[in-house]
Amino acid sequence: PASTARLPQGHLSVGGVSLAELADRFGTPAYVLDEDEIRARCRTYRAAFPQADVVYAAKAFLSRAMVRWIEEEGLGLDVCSAGELELAHAAGFPPERMVLHGNAKSPRDIELALRVGVGRIVVDSPSEIARIAALTGPAGRQKVMVRVVPGVSAGGHEKIRTGTDGQKFGLSLTDGSAQHAVARVLGQPQLELTGLHCHIGSQITDVKPYLVAVRRMVGLMARIKESHGVTLPELDLGGGHAVAYRPGEPALDPTALARRLYAELAASCAAAGLPVPRLLIEPGRAIAAPAGVALYRVLAVKHTGPTLFVAVDGGMSDNPRPALYGARYAPRPIGRSTTAEPVPATVVGRHCEAGDVIASDVPLPGDVRPGDLVAVPVAGAYQASMASAYNLVGRPPVVAVHRGTARLLIRRETQDDLSRRDVGA
Ligand code: LLP
């Protein structure tokens, strides 16, 4: 999946730049992003979904350069906070191509969205309907969608499943709160309901749950037409498309997904007597994850009982995914040729807790030693964006590579950055 996966062990490079050189130049830990791979993934999505709006989910990874790539590749942008919105806006992203999400939008989130003029706001609770309408003011008209929980269970881990009742996102189809919200939005002259939204989960490997969601969403659109006489022109199916974190794992292919989604949509709409709505999709991980590699340097190697622990200079502060979701990675040694036989090792971080594991039971050369470099592929999504400064370890830099050259996108968080926030006596 990652461009690194095709290269021989020992001397890996990304975008024409050796990872070992990058580690020397920018230090470790560091995230490396392959700009061409990100752009190629955007193009694959646009080619697979020519009649849809492909809206990149900024939560996966965001920086000013990323905003520019997404803009130039013709995608939209899903933002879920004033912070993401502000960054994208300052970087020149067209606001009408933005979609604002959030189950608990702050007054600042809504005000900023209205002020810059985001394309759509996705309503996630009844209480925000009147608030958005009031802030829009009598002269304005804001496009909104209603986020529906279609009752479909999908996703790679319990914590990233959002398609059924009993989790915090969206408005339920089964208890009628989605229908109520739709009626309330239609009753607000300041709001224009362009369609319905659902996001059923993340790291979904199978097309079927999306097809069930399409049937249920079209069913709701038909009932809305019946009771309100309104034909909604848009349907947003969220993101959630899985990537392979380790060689051989399944990924969700956008082209196959598009073909089956449109077939299901055509059939469901024909049966319901509705025109086919314009689709929006919101991939985050599938755009960014395979384009990134995390680089670490080994600090310590030891046996504890039967396990060989290889401790690196990062860990759960730059990648909380193994601890949060039991995510599995395939770390690879780089930068040094060796003929040593591979042995099973557990790659751990430097943080003060036992759950700080990057990958358990993975093969590393038997002579692995401090100073060695380890690359963790498929690190472009939900790592930099979810990084913390736990144990006051500063967050790593993000480096972009493009046509054989590397440049810094986000600098390393320094001790000074960390100390400066501490303003108490
Ligand atoms: N749209 C909405 C409304 C979302 O909430 C999300 C992700 C996406 C799109 C993009 O989903 P993607 O295509 O990236 O799966 N931190 C977790 C993933 C959380 C996803 C949250 N919402 C992880 O590292 O696996």
- Residue 384 CA to ligand 1 center (angstroms) comes to 14
- Which ligand 1 atom minimizes the distance to the CA of 162? 5
201-216, pLDDT tens digit by residue?
999 999 999 999 999 9
pLDDT at 11: 62
- Its pTM stands at 0.96
Pocket-testing residue among 237, 257, 282, 376, ligand 1, by greatest number of atoms within 8 A of Cβ: 282
Ordered domains of the chain (ranges, CATH): 3-31+289-420 (2.40.37.10), 35-288 (3.20.20.10)
Pocket-testing residue among 285, 316, 318, 321, ligand 1, by greatest number of atoms within 8 A of Cβ: 285
Q: Residues 233-261: what's their mean pLDDT?
A: 98
pLDDT at 9: 53
pLDDT at 7: 36
- Residue 238 CA to ligand 1 center (angstroms) comes to 9
Q: Residues 60-67: what's their mean pLDDT?
A: 98
DSSP string, 87-133: HHHHTT--GGGEEE--SS--HHHHHHHHHHT-SEEEE-STHHHHHHH
State the pLDDT confidence band at 4, using cuts at 50, 70 and 90: very low
8: pLDDT strictly greater than 60: no
- Residue 274 CA to ligand 1 center (angstroms) comes to 29
Q: Residues 88-114: what's their mean pLDDT?
A: 98
On whether the CB atoms of residues 357 and 348 are closer than 8 A, the answer is yes
Which are the contacts of 341, defined by CB distance < 8 A and separation ≥ 6? 365, 366
**Token pair of 350 as six digits:** 């430097």
Which residues does the annotation mark as catalytic? Answer: 352
- Which ligand 1 atom minimizes the distance to the CA of 101? 3
312: pLDDT strictly greater than 50: yes
173-201, pLDDT tens digit by residue?
999 999 999 999 999 999 999 999 999 99
**Distance in angstroms (rounded) separating the CA atoms of residues 388 and 390:** 6
Beta strands 13-14 and 357-365, pairing class:
unpaired
Length of the chain, in residues: 425
pLDDT at 10: 56
Q: Residues 307-320: what's their mean pLDDT?
A: 98
> What residues are in contact with ligand 1 under a 6 Å CB criterion?
57, 59-60, 78, 101, 160, 199, 202-203, 238-241, 282-286, 321, 325, 382
- Which ligand 1 atom minimizes the distance to the CA of 288? 14
Helix (H) or strand (E) segment spanning residue 268: helix 254-272
pLDDT at 12: 87
Q: Residues 377-386: what's their mean pLDDT?
A: 98
pLDDT at 418: 97
Mean pLDDT, the chain, rounded, equals 95
Q: Which residues are annotated as a binding site for pyridoxal 5'-phosphate?
A: 240, 282-285, 382
The upper half-sphere exposure of residue 324, i.e. CA atoms within 13 Å in the direction of its Cβ, equals: 14
315-347, pLDDT tens digit by residue?
999 999 999 999 999 999 998 989 999 999 999
114-173, pLDDT tens digit by residue?
999 999 999 999 999 999 999 998 888 999 999 999 999 999 899 999 999 999 999 999
Percent of the chain beyond pLDDT 70? 97
pLDDT at 323: 97
3: pLDDT strictly greater than 90: no
- Residue 190 CA to ligand 1 center (angstroms) comes to 30
